[in-house]
């Protein structure tokens, strides 16, 4: 294989990398030792939010800033570790008063507002389960997730509640309380003011009583078939959050750290809340949406040391041009990393040339809970490669055998990326779907559904997905939700969704629709269907393009062959599918 490597030289005065000798760290690693760095609660307890806040306060670091919040209208608010500890205590006390406790799900549907952080941490302290929902989801994805999670409490804003939840409340019998972050007093039965209720609570609370294997986080993710699945994570995951923050992101106490991912998704929770706080860093949260000039100003003014972002954002920065970066002093930046989609070599090199920091690609999934494969600060980068497994993580390229076993493949051979089961942040199940969980494992390995290769030096290279899930602007979208909503329209007989390559979003959602007899394809109908889907699914999930077809290609058993739709889109002859992924998915 032909690759170039980027070697790096530390700037004068920069601290040495946290991971200095990769091979030695792997050889001597044990999860037990990593676990021992955390503070166990009375008995054998462990709690993510305690590790993230109170532990620092008790160690005398309570006055360090934990959160710098930048509002979209120019506000700047800071919260120390002690303040976050008190706020989350209050929220935990409030939950307890509402009768919410161990294992109950608390959902948040909000943008990047300070209340979200108090909610996440307070929920964990109360022993309940935090489940984030992306605020750009429409009513349909929100309802499915609230319903499947059996959420008892929802924290949201007035506008989001009115647009996405209120009219569906009858379909959500488990949802006892909605707390509005911008409502005053009692709003209506079952809807209260977050702040009014919080004001009645005490700052104090005895240490949480959770155990390492208690459910802590629930993250929804999509597959090819069926509704989204809720991946269960437990408090023990914090062992991996802390370790990967330190080794893969090079985080150290009092670093200024910025993760641009939204906390409506797993990255924004694992690395936008837990990993930075557990490592004692100061995290920057920007409420506003992407804007190149604003982003450079934040990197400069907040003197960000460690930056974790995504290829979609990097592509947009590249589009804005090097000129936009020119007058900004980015000298504080010590480490830049990327996740979520393929990061091409151009992106890595652009970081080096424009930010003076190459982007270090990292790979993981909702199911893995934490970074599993990374390019490390101490090592040369192979641009285009996802890097090497974390100490404590064993990764391999495998092929599934028909008998249910697996074969390990040789370097250079393309196969499915698998991880040996057993790291602390590995998901412990899909909520109420034991069968689907079981199917993710073979011979003691977790099968990721990603296709990749490994080179002779152990670096992993991403190839594609083995199923029909796509990434649009870094967000995962499965065909099920999109196709189902389109089929609810009276004119639609069948619908199929694919990811269409896009210069900025990576892929955009494109739908193919066959109409029912009596309906004719027209521009007006296309617009109507796109609008229909957008109203229900929201801008994060809805198709951006829609094409009418006479009928959809299907297998003999009636499954839509989306790879043929992709071939058609890419202008490939249907016979030449060499660049496309497999037909059969792990869920088929
Ligand atoms: C899927 C997981 C991103 C972690 C949290 C979101 C794709 C992830 C990379 C990468 C190419 C990547 C994979 C993976 N992906 N990182 N560095 N290069 N593809 O997790 O939403 O469950 O997405 O994102 O296909 O399976 P997620």
What are the DSSP calls for 34-87, one per residue? Answer: HHHTSPPBTTTB--HHIIIIIHHHHTT-TTSEEEEEE-TTS-EEEEEHHHHHHH
pLDDT tens-digit series, residues 434-487: 999 999 999 999 999 999 999 999 999 999 999 999 999 999 999 999 999 999
Q: Whose CA is nearest to atom 19 of ligand 1?
A: 341
- Architecture (CATH level 2) of domain 470-587: 2-Layer Sandwich (3.30)
Which residues, other chains included, contact 213 with Cβ-Cβ below 8 Å and sequence gap of 6+? 234, 235, 236, 428
CA distance 52 to 14: 26
Query: What pLDDT sits at residue 580?
Result: 42
Residue 548's Cβ-count burial label (10 Å; 0-12, 13-18, 19+) is middle
Pairing of strands 441-442, 406-408: unpaired
CATH topology of domain 22-377+386-451: Rossmann fold (3.40.50)
CA atoms within 13 A on the CB side of 420: 9
d(CA 136, CA 156): 12
Ligand 1: centre distance to CA 211 (Å): 29
* CB-CB contact of 283 with 70 (8 Å): no
- pLDDT number for residue 13: 87
Q: Which atom of ligand 1 is nearest to the CA of 476?
A: 21
Q: Which of 223, 215, 90 lies closest to 150, judged by CA?
A: 215
Please choose from 364, 366, 585 the residue to mutate so as to test ligand 1's pocket, defined by most ligand atoms within 8 A of CB. 364
488 alpha carbon to ligand 1 midpoint, in Å?
Answer: 30
Of 364, 287, 374, nearest to 337 by C-alpha is 374
pLDDT < 50: residue spans in the chain: 1-2, 576-588
Closest among 559, 576, 558 to 567, alpha carbons compared: 576
C-alpha separations of 531 from 335, 535, 538 in Å:
42, 6, 10
Closest residue by CA, ligand 1 atom 18: 342
Please give the model's pTM, rounded to 2 decimal places.
Answer: 0.96
What pLDDT does 186 receive?
65
Q: Which residues line ligand 1 (CB under 6 A)?
A: 221, 266-267, 339-343, 361-366, 386, 448, 450, 462, 465, 471, 476
Max CA pair span of the chain: 73
Element (H, E) at 325: helix 323-326
Residues comprising the chain, all counted: 588
Answer yes or no: are the C-beta atoms of 363 and 462 closer than 8 Å: yes
From CA 110, how far away is CA 135, in angstroms rounded? 5
The per-residue pLDDT for range 348-379, each reduced to its tens digit, is 999 999 999 999 999 999 999 999 999 999 99
pLDDT of res. 575: 60
pLDDT at residue 347, as a whole number: 97
Cα–Cα distance, 319 to 314 (Å, whole number)? 9
Atom 23, ligand 1: residue with shortest CA distance: 365
| Position in ligand 1 atom list of the atom nearest CA 361 | 17
The single-letter DSSP state of residue 18 is: S
Q: Is 199 exposed, middle or buried (0-12, 13-18, 19+ CB in 10 A)?
A: exposed
Give the residue whose CA is nearest to atom 2 of ligand 1. Answer: 365
Pocket test for ligand 1, best of 365, 372, 419 (most atoms within 8 A of CB): 365
Residue with the nearest Cα to atom 8 of ligand 1?
Answer: 340
Residue whose CA lies nearest to ligand 1 atom number 24: 340
Give per-residue burial for 13-52: e unless 16+ CB within 10 Å, then b: eeeebbbeebeebbeebebeebbeebeebeeebbbbbbbb
CB-based contacts of 188, cutoff 8 Å, min separation 6? none
Detail the DSSP E strand segments found in 275-355: 282-286, 306-309, 335-339
Domain limits of the chain? 22-377+386-451, 470-587
Which residue's structure tokens are 């995951």?
A: 237
Distance CA(426)–CA(485), nearest Å, equals 32
**Three-state SS sequence of 108-128:** EECCCCHHHHHHHHHHHHCCC
Beta-carbon contacts of residue 558 (< 8 Å; ≥ 6 apart): none
- Residue from 435, 373, 34, 19 nearest 237 by CA: 34
């Amino acid at each position: 294989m032909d690759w170039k490597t980027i070697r790096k030289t530390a700037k004068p005065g920069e601290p040495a990398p946290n991971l200095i000798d990769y091979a030695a760290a792997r050889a001597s690693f044990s999860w037990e030792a990593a676990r021992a760095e955390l503070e166990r609660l009375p008995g054998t307890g462990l709690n993510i939010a305690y590790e993230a806040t109170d532990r620092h306060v008790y160690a005398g670091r309570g006055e360090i800033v934990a959160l710098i919040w930048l509002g979209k209208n120019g506000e700047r608010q800071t919260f120390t570790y002690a303040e976050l500890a008190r706020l989350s205590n209050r929220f935990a006390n409030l939950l307890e008063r509402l009768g919410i406790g161990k294992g109950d799900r608390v959902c948040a549907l909000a943008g990047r507002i300070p209340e979200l952080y108090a909610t996440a941490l307070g929920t964990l302290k109360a022993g309940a389960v935090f489940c984030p929902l992306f605020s750009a989801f429409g009513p349909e994805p929100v309802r499915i997730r609230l319903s499947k999670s059996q959420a008892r409490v929802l924290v949201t804003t007035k506008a989001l509640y009115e647009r996405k939840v209120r009219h569906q409340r009858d379909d959500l019998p488990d949802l006892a309380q909605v707390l509005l972050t911008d409502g005053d007093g009692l709003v209506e039965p079952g809807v209260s003011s977050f702040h009014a209720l919080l004001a009645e609570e005490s700052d104090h609370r005895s240490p949480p009583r959770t155990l390492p294997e208690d459910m802590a986080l629930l993250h929804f993710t999509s597959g090819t078939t069926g509704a989204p699945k809720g991946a269960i994570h437990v408090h023990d995951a914090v062992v991996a959050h802390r370790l990967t923050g330190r080794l893969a992101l090079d985080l150290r106490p009092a670093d200024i750290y910025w993760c641009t991912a939204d906390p409506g998704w797993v990255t924004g929770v694992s690395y936008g809340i837990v990993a930075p706080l557990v490592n004692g860093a100061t995290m920057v949260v920007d409420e506003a949406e992407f804007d190149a000039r604003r982003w450079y100003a934040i990197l400069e003014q907040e003197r960000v040391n460690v930056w974790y972002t995504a290829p979609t954002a990097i592509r947009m920065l590249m589009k804005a041009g090097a000129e936009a970066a020119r007058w900004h002093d980015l000298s504080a930046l010590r480490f830049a990393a990327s996740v979520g989609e393929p990061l091409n070599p151009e992106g890595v090199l652009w970081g080096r040339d424009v930010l003076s920091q190459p982007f270090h690609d990292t790979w993981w999934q909702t199911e893995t809970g934490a970074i599993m494969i990374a390019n490390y600060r101490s090592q040369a980068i192979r641009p285009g490669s996802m890097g090497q497994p974390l100490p404590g993580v064993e990764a391999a390229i495998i092929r599934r055998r028909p008998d249910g076993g697996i074969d390990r493949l040789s370097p250079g051979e393309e196969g499915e990326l698998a991880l040996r089961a057993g790291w602390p942040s590995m998901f412990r199940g899909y909520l109420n779907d034991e069968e689907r969980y079981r199917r993710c494992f073979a011979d003691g390995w977790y099968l990721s559904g990603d296709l990749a290769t490994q080179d002779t030096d152990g670096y992993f290279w991403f190839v594609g997905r083995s199923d029909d899930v796509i990434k649009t602007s870094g967000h995962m979208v499965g065909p099920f939700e999109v196709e189902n909503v389109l089929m609810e329209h009276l004119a639609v007989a069948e619908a199929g969704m694919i990811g269409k390559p896009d210069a900025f979003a990576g892929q955009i959602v494109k739908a193919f629709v066959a109409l029912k007899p009596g309906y004719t394809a027209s521009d007006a109908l296309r617009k109507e269907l796109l609008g229909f889907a957008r109203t229900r699914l929201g801008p994060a999930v809805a198709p951006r393009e829609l094409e009418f077809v006479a009928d959809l290609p299907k297998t003999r058993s009636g499954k839509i062959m989306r790879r043929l739709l992709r071939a058609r889109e890419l202008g490939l002859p249907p016979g030449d599918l060499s660049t496309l992924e497999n037909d059969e998915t792990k869920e088929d």
